[in-house]
Amino acid sequence: MKNFTASLLHTAWTEEEKLQLDKIINFVEEYNGKDFLTAACLYLYRILGIDHIHIGLTSKIGTYKQIHTVVRLEKGVVAPAFYYSLNKSPFNKLYEDEFMYFPFGLSAMYPDYEVLNNNKYESYIGMPLLNAEDEPLGIIIMLHGRIIERGGFVEALLNAIVPKIEIELSVMKFNSDVLVEPLN
């Protein structure tokens, strides 16, 4: 759970961006509802208006990393969860980076990747989610039909919200991995 990138240290924020950063920090600290992951995606959508946002949980099947979306928004509406292989994705190196940002030209860079081209996504932001041992836990992905502007600002928003997302995903993963033994 180390997701703080040093690239933001010298960024000059507008007053509106500073206010949004303060608000997202307050949201993370004060949220006490049951479904933080959905609330977090909806909060990011309200600020950014990104076409597609999802949080996925990573599982490994052999040498393939598979993602199960835990929360998925399409234009601010909760959409059904799905599984996909990260290995077949153009973003399969996400866990090697702390943050991936492609501001434009995504469909031209990956013309054979159906997910991008069927939905006309042109811009991408992704960040790995790690457990307490800094092992892959999940991902947060944003895809948009136009340029995702202010990449540094989006990265700062993610840095503010990701630690709590990682905690929530860790608890979810722990609860799904725990086998309840019958009482004798």
Mean pLDDT by 10 residues, the chain (184 residues): 44 87 96 93 96 91 80 95 80 81 86 76 92 90 92 93 95 70 40
First to last CA, the chain: 39
Contact 94, 85 (CB under 8 A): no
**Boundaries of every domain in the chain:** 15-174
Question: Cα–Cα distance between 103 and 148 in angstroms, integer?
Answer: 6
Question: Cα–Cα distance between 163 and 36 in angstroms, integer?
Answer: 12
- For domain 15-174, the question of CATH label 2.30.30.30 is answered with no
pTM, two decimal places: 0.85
Q: Helix, strand, or coil here: 72?
A: strand
pLDDT of residue 98: 82
